[in-house]
Structure 1
Amino acid sequence: MLPENLKKIDQQLIDLLGERIAVLAKSPSIALEEQIASFTFSLVQAGVPECLWRNLVTGCTAAVASTLSPPVATQPRRVTLVGGRGMMGYFFKQKLSAAGHDISILDVGDWEQAQSLLEKADLVLVCVPIEYTIEVIHKLAQYLSPTTALADIASIKTPILQAMLEQHSGPVMGLHPMFGPGIKSFSSQTVVVCPGRGDDAFQWLLALMENDGGKLIISTPEEHDQMMIAVQAIRNFQTFSLGVFLGEEEIDIRRSLDFASPIFRLELDIVGRLFAQSAPLVVDIMLATPERREAIERLAITYNRLAQLIVENDRDTLIQEFKATHSFLGERMNSAVEESTHVINTLSTLLAAKEVEQKQPFFVRQQGAIAHQLVTP
C-alpha cells in the first residue's frame, strides 16, 4: 500500500500534469527540445534525471492530441463483433462500449444465434484470424440487412475486400489496425482504411478512432498488400529467423542479458514479443500471398550473398554495401537515431525502476535484521 505522503505527492503531480497539458493545448507549437532544455540546470539541482523529464514532456505533448479532439457526439450503434472474444475483438469491444455503443459478440459457438445477432446490426466487424476471414464472410452474409455496414480488420485486404463486396450489397470497408495486443487506445496508432462501398456508413467509426488519437491512412487494397510485404511479412520472417537461430545455437538468453547493450535487449524483446503471439497468426502473415513468399525468398538470397562476403573476409565489398544502403536511407537516418534513442532511454528508465523494485525487499530485510540486532540482548 502506498504511504499517504506519497499518495498526496502523486495527486499533486497528476493535477499539475493536467494543467500542463491544458496550457500546451492552447499553444501546441512549442518545440519539444525547447520545453526539455529550459530546465536543464534545475533538473541537476533537483536530482531529476534528464531522461525522466524528457519522457514527461514528450508524454504531455502527445496527450495534447486527444485534448485538441473534443468528443464526437454520435448516436449509439448496434455493433456485432464476429470473433469478438479474441484479443483484437476485445480491444474493439472496450473502445466501442466506452463510446456508448451496444455491442454483441458472435463467436465460434454462437452461430445458432447468428440471425438475431446480425440482421439488426448497424455494423458487423469481422475480427477472426486471416485463415478464416473469407469463410466467415461467406457464412454471415446471408443474415445481413442491406443497410448493415460490414468491415474486417485482417492484415490482407485485396481478396477479403473483394469477398465482402461480392457477398454483401450494403456498405463495405476494409480496416487494418497496425498494432497488436497490449495497446490500450488508438493514440498514435495507425489504422489503414480501404474504402469499398458506402463510406458514409463508417464515418462515425473512423471519427471514433481519430478522436482517440488514431492516425487513419487511406489506401487501395492493392497498395496496402504491397506495403505489408515489407511492413509485416519480411519483418516477421527476419524476427522469426533470429529466434529460431538463437534456439538452434542454444544461446543462454538469461546470461546474455547480463552483457546486453540496449539495442541487443530491444532485439530480444522484439523476438520474444513475436513468439508470444499465436503461431498460426505469425506464420499465416508470412505465407499469406505468393508475393510475400517470393519477397522472403529474395531476402534469404540477400542474407546468403552478404554471409558469403563475411566468410570470404571481403571487407571492401561489405563497406561498399554499407555505403550504398546509407545513401538509400538518406534523411530517414536522422529520424531513426532520434526515435531509437528515445526508445532506448525509455527502456533504460524502466529497467532502472525494476532494479530498484527488485532490490527493495533486500534493503527492507537488511534494515529489519539490523533493528533485530539492536534490540536483542
Structure 2
Amino acid sequence: MNEKTTLDLENLRDLIDGVDQQLLNLLRKRLDFVAQVGTVKHAAGVPIYAPQREASMLAKRRKEASDMNVSPQLIEDILRRLMRESYLNEKDVGFKQVKTDLGHIVIVGGEGQLGGLFSQMLTLSGYQVKSLDKNDWHRAEELFDGAGMVIVTVPINVTCDVISNQLNNLPDNCILADLTSVKTEPLNAMLAAHKGPVVGLHPMFGPDVGSLAKQVVVVCDGRHPEAYQWLLDQIIIWGARIVNEDAQKHDKAMQLVQAMRHFSTFVYGLNLCKEQADIDTLLQFSSPIYRLELAMVGRLFAQDPELYADIIFAQEGSQIAISDYLDNYRQALELLKAGNREEFVSQFKQVAQWFGDFAPQFQHESRAMLQSVNDMKSN
C-alpha cells in the first residue's frame, strides 16, 4: 500500500470516527428522551411496551431509510436494539402502583431467582414485599398476618406439598398465586388449601430477563378473578402480555414446549459429551444456524440441573410426548438406513405443508437472529 493510499484511508477513518462520535451523542440524547417518556408512563400507568406505536414507528423509519437508499432492515435492526435498551432504562424509573390499598406481599421462595425478579418488579411498583424461604417457616404466622397476596415460587416437586401443608390458613381475602411451570396440580392444591382468591401464573421467561417488555405470562384462573385483575393489569404495565388458558391445556402444551424440548437438548449435549466432541473445532466449522443451536445447548448446561429435572419429570404425560418423539426419530433413522431418499423428501414436503405460512414466517424471523449470531462470532 503506497503512502497516498495510506493517507487517504487515515483521513476517511478520521471522518468515520467523527460520525461515530455524533452517533454516540445522538444515542445519549435518545436515551435521555426515553427516560422522560418513562417518567410520564410511570405517572399515568401506561405499559412500557406499546406494540402499535412500535410497529408504526418502525414502518416509518423503514420507508425513510429506503428513500435515502439505506437498507430498511439495517435501520430496523438498530432501532430494535435501541428499544430493548430503552425498555431496560424505563424499568429503572419504576411503575405506577395499580392496587394502592393492598396489604404486604409475601413471596414464598423469594430468595430464588424468579422470586427475586418478581420481588424487584413489585417493589419498583410501590408494593411492600416480604420473602419467606425454607428457613423462615417459624415466622410464617407473622409474615402472613395482614398479607394481601402470597406468591409461591418453590421447586416444582415440593410446590403442592408447600401449598397443602403450609398455606391453608391465610387471611380470607388474601390472593394466593403460584409461578410454577406446571399448572393443574398446583392450581387444584391452592383451591383446596385456600378459600379466597386463587390464580395460577406461568412466566414464560427465565429470571435473567432484563425487562418484561414483550414477555408472556400465562394466567390460569382459579377463583374470584375480579379480586386479582389488578395484578394482571400491573403485569401488563410492566410490558408483558397476558395469555389466559385452561390449566390442563397449558400443561399439555408444556409437554412439547418445555419437557420434550429440554429433554432433546439434554440428550444432544449428552451425546456431544460422550463423543468427546471438540467444541472449538465445531465452532470453527459451524454455520450461523449450527452455532445458534450449539449456543442453546450450552445455555441449558449453564443453568441449574435441579430446575430442568423438575420441568422434565414434573408430568407423567411428558414421557408420552418424549416417547413419541423417539419413535419418530427411529422411523426417520430407518429411512436413512434404507437409503430411502424419496420417502425422506416426501415426508419433508408433508411437514412443510403442515407448517403452512409459518414456515416462511419463521425463515424470515430466523434470518435476523442468524445474522446477529454471525456478527457476534469471535472465533
Bin of the TM-score, shorter chain as denominator length? 0.7 to 0.9
Aligned to 1:345: 371
- The 1:106–1:17 alpha-carbon spacing in structure 2 relative to 1, beyond 3 Å, is closer
Equivalent residue of 1:132, what SS? helix
Describe how 1:55-94 pairs up with structure 2 within 5 A.
55-59=77-81, 71=96, 73-75=98-100, 77=102, 78-94=104-120
- The 1:346–1:196 alpha-carbon spacing in structure 2 relative to 1, beyond 3 Å, is same
Does 2:188 match 1:162? yes
Q: Is the 8 A contact 1:80 1:121 kept in 2?
A: yes
Aligned to 2:199: 173
Aligned mates of 1:41, 1:129 — CA distance in 2: 54
Aligned to 1:199: 225
Describe how 1:228-247 pairs up with structure 2 within 5 A.
228-247=254-273
Alignment deviations for residues 80-139 of structure 1 (CA, whole Å, 9 cap, x no partner): 110011110111011011111101000011111011111321110001010110111123
Aligned to 1:15: 29
- The 1:275–1:309 alpha-carbon spacing in structure 2 relative to 1, beyond 3 Å, is same
Equivalent residue of 1:39, what SS? helix
Question: In the alignment, which of 320, 330, 346 is matched to residue 320 of structure 1?
Answer: 346
Aligned mates of 2:215, 2:142 — CA distance in 1: 33
Aligned mates of 1:29, 1:7 — CA distance in 2: 29
Question: In the alignment, which of 265, 268, 282 is matched to residue 308 of structure 2?
Answer: 282
- The 1:316–1:73 alpha-carbon spacing in structure 2 relative to 1, beyond 3 Å, is same
Describe how 1:208-247 pairs up with structure 2 within 5 A.
208-247=234-273
1:145, distance to aligned residue in structure 2 (A): 0.7
1:315, distance to aligned residue in structure 2 (A): 0.3
1:349, distance to aligned residue in structure 2 (A): 3.3
Aligned to 2:360: 334
Which shifted more, 315-324 or 197-206?
Answer: 197-206
TM-score (norm 1): 0.82
Q: Is the 8 A contact 1:76 1:102 kept in 2?
A: no
Q: Is the 8 A contact 1:72 1:211 kept in 2?
A: no
- The 1:225–1:88 alpha-carbon spacing in structure 2 relative to 1, beyond 3 Å, is same
Aligned mates of 2:147, 2:21 — CA distance in 1: 45
Aligned to 1:105: 131
Aligned mates of 2:201, 2:362 — CA distance in 1: 27
Does 2:311 match 1:297? no
Structure with bigger RCO (C-alpha 8 Å, 6+ apart): 2
Alignment deviations for residues 129-178 of structure 1 (CA, whole Å, 9 cap, x no partner): 10110111123223411111000011111111000000111110000001
Structure 2 unaligned spans of 5+: 1-18, 38-48
Aligned mates of 2:357, 2:220 — CA distance in 1: 29
Describe how 1:242-261 pairs up with structure 2 within 5 A.
242-261=268-287
Report the AA paired with residue 79 of structure 2: V
- The 1:133–1:11 alpha-carbon spacing in structure 2 relative to 1, beyond 3 Å, is farther
Aligned mates of 2:329, 2:184 — CA distance in 1: 30
- When the two chains are superposed, the root-mean-square deviation of aligned CA atoms in Å is 3.0
Q: Is the 8 A contact 2:169 2:194 kept in 1?
A: no
Structure 1 unaligned spans of 5+: 356-377
Alignment deviations for residues 6-45 of structure 1 (CA, whole Å, 9 cap, x no partner): 88863531323666997x979656374552353258576x
Aligned mates of 1:200, 1:119 — CA distance in 2: 22
Equivalent residue of 1:335, what SS? helix
Q: Is the 8 A contact 2:98 2:234 kept in 1?
A: no
Q: Is the 8 A contact 1:149 1:202 kept in 2?
A: yes
Aligned mates of 2:302, 2:213 — CA distance in 1: 23
Q: Is the 8 A contact 1:91 1:184 kept in 2?
A: no
Aligned mates of 2:147, 2:272 — CA distance in 1: 48
- The 1:311–1:207 alpha-carbon spacing in structure 2 relative to 1, beyond 3 Å, is same
Question: In the alignment, which of 62, 70, 75 is matched to residue 53 of structure 1?
Answer: 75
Aligned to 2:46: none
Alignment deviations for residues 297-345 of structure 1 (CA, whole Å, 9 cap, x no partner): 1110111110111121110110111011001000101220121112122
Equivalent residue of 2:135, what SS? helix
Aligned mates of 1:32, 1:314 — CA distance in 2: 47
Aligned mates of 2:112, 2:230 — CA distance in 1: 23
Aligned mates of 2:295, 2:328 — CA distance in 1: 25
1:269, distance to aligned residue in structure 2 (A): 1.1
Aligned to 2:5: none
Equivalent residue of 1:75, what SS? coil
Aligned mates of 2:21, 2:230 — CA distance in 1: 39
Report the AA paired with residue 322 of structure 2: I
- The 1:185–1:159 alpha-carbon spacing in structure 2 relative to 1, beyond 3 Å, is same
1:209, distance to aligned residue in structure 2 (A): 1.2
Describe how 1:99-138 pairs up with structure 2 within 5 A.
99-138=125-164
Report the AA paired with residue 128 of structure 2: D
Q: Is the 8 A contact 2:105 2:128 kept in 1?
A: yes
Equivalent residue of 1:300, what SS? helix
Q: Percent identity?
A: 33
Report the AA paired with residue 58 of structure 1: R
